[in-house]
Amino acid sequence: MAKRRPNGGGTVTKRSDGRYQAAVYVPQPDGTTKRKFAYGRDYDECDRKRRDLLNRAADGIPTPTRDMTLGQWLDYWLECIVKPDLSAGSYRTYSRAVRNHLRPRLGSVVMVKLGVKELRGAITRLAQEKTPQTARHVLRVLSAALTAAMVEDIGLTRNVAKLVHVRASTNSGKSRDAAAVLLLLAEARQRTVYYPAYLLLCLLGLRRAEVCGLRWENIDLEQRILWVETQRQRTSAGTVDVELKSATSKAPLPLPAQCIAPLRWTRMRTAWLRESAFAEGRPWFEDPERHVFITRTGQPLQVAQLYSTLQGIIASAGLERMNLKELRKSCGTLLVHLRVHPRVIKAILRHSRISTTLDIYAEALDPDVVDAVGQLDRLLRQPSRGRPDSG
C-alpha cells in the first residue's frame, strides 16, 4: 500500500483534461494561508512543483495566489523584490507611488482581473487631479510591479500597464540660455571652490548626486576621460554612495579642456587641507573613497551643500532662481541649438530612454520649427515653376 503523505504535504490529482494538478497550502504576503494550485503535463512535473511550493513555505517565503489583490501584490513586491534588489532611493520612490496613488485607487482590485479600461480610467483621473508627469510615473511603477508578477506562477499573462499610455513632457526644470550659463560659471569661479563641480554640471550634464559621488579613480586627467559609476544618496543608514542602475549611465565621457586645470587645483586643495588639518590638530575625515569634492574637514560634499552654494551664486549674479536639475537640462538644450543629433545628446546625458532626450529636443526646437515653417511658407508663395501642362 502506498505511503500516505503527512498533513500539509499537499496533493497531486489527475484532471479530466489529462493534466495533473498539485494543491498546497502556502503562506501569503499578508500573513494568511491559502491554497495554491500548480499544474503539470505528467505526475512527476506536477509533484516537483508541489515540492517547490513546500520548500518555499518551509523557508518562510510567501507564494502569491490568483485571488490576491493588487494592493497585496504591491506590498509583497516592495518588501521581497524591490527592497533587496534595488537601491534605497528606488525603494522610497516606488513606495510613495504605491502609498499615495496605486493602493488608494486600485489596491482592492484582484490583480489578475485588472483590465485596460479600468486602469486607463484610473490613470486619466490621476493625470487630471495631479499632473500628467505624476500619472506617467505611477504607470511606470505599476508596469514594473506587474512585470515582476508575470514571473510568479499566479496566472498573470499580460502587463496591462504597457497597454495604457500617458502623454507628458519630462519635468526637468526650465532651460537657461548660453548667456545665463556663462554668467553663472563666471560668478561661480569667483565665489566658490566648487567651481569645477558646476563646470561638470553645465558642460557634461551630470546629475547632482553623480557630481557628489564622483571619485578620483573615476577621472583620468591625462587622457581627459571621466567615468560616472556612483552617486551620493540618502538612505536609512545615512548618506552613502550607490552604483548607477544602468550601463548607459556608466558610459565614459570626454572631459572638456577647460575642466582639466580646475580639477587639478581641486586635487591640490584636498592635499593642502589634509596637511593643514594634521599640522594644526584640527578634525579631519580620512575619506577612503577619495571623493573629488570635499568640505574643509574632508567629508564628501552633499547635494544640499551644492544647492545652497548655487543659490548664493545666483543671488550674487542677479540671475533668476534655479535648481541643479536645470543646469543639466540647459546642457541638453544648448546641445540642441548647436544642431547635435538627439542620439548623441542621449549619449552625453546618458538617458536610458531616447524619449526623454526627444522631450528636451522638442522643447528646445520650438523657435527653429517656427523658422522652418516660415521658410516653407515663403517658398510656396513663389510662382510655380515647371508646372506640367494641363492638357
Residues 211 and 200: beta-carbon distance below 8 Å: yes
156 domain residue, yes or no: yes
Residue 339, amino acid = R
Same domain, 257 and 362: yes
pLDDT (0 to 100) of residue 237: 63
Q: Read off the pLDDT of each residue in 176-198 and give the average, rounded to a whole number.
A: 92
Same domain, 131 and 194: no
pLDDT digit string, tens, across residues 66-90: 677 899 889 889 988 888 887 777 8
99 domain residue, yes or no: yes
Same domain, 237 and 297: yes
Q: Read off the pLDDT of each residue in 283-307 and give the average, rounded to a whole number.
A: 94
More confident residue, 247 or 254: 254
Residues 149 and 110: beta-carbon distance below 8 Å: no
CA triple 68-72-74, angle to 5 deg:
120
pLDDT (0 to 100) of residue 386: 47
Helix (H, G, I), strand (E, B) or coil at 232: strand
Instruction: Flag whether pLDDT at 391 surpasses 60.
Output: no
Structural domains in the chain (count): 3
Instruction: Flag whether pLDDT at 275 surpasses 90.
Output: yes
Dihedral sign, CA of 352, 354, 355, 359?
positive
Residues 6+ apart with CB under 8 A from 205: 327, 328, 331, 332, 348, 349
Same domain, 111 and 77: yes
More confident residue, 116 or 49: 116
**How much of the chain exceeds pLDDT 90, in percent?**
42
Instruction: Give the single-character DSSP code of 217.
Output: G
**Burial profile 145-180: b = 16 or more Cβ within 10 angstroms, e = fewer:** bbebbeeebbebeebbbeebebebebebeebbeeeb
pLDDT (0 to 100) of residue 356: 75
Whether this prediction's pTM lies above 0.85 is answered by no
Same domain, 204 and 117: no
More confident residue, 246 or 325: 325
Q: Read off the pLDDT of each residue in 145-156 and give the average, rounded to a whole number.
A: 81
d(CA 287, CA 47): 55
Helix residue ranges, H only, the chain: 43-58, 70-77, 83-85, 88-97, 103-106, 116-129, 132-151, 178-191, 195-203, 208-212, 257-280, 303-317, 324-337, 342-349, 354-364, 366-381
Residue 85, amino acid = D
CATH number at residue 264: 1.10.443.10
Same domain, 287 and 331: yes
389 domain residue, yes or no: no
Residue whose cell numbers read 493602493: 103
- Which residue, of 139, 163, 187, is where some domain finishes? 163
86 domain residue, yes or no: yes
Range of the domain at 348: 178-366
The mean of the pLDDT values for the chain is 84
pLDDT (0 to 100) of residue 95: 94
Q: Read off the pLDDT of each residue in 31-46 and give the average, rounded to a whole number.
A: 81
Instruction: Flag whether pLDDT at 390 surpasses 50.
Output: no
Q: Read off the pLDDT of each residue in 344-348 and give the average, rounded to a whole number.
A: 86
Residues 336 and 345: beta-carbon distance below 8 Å: yes
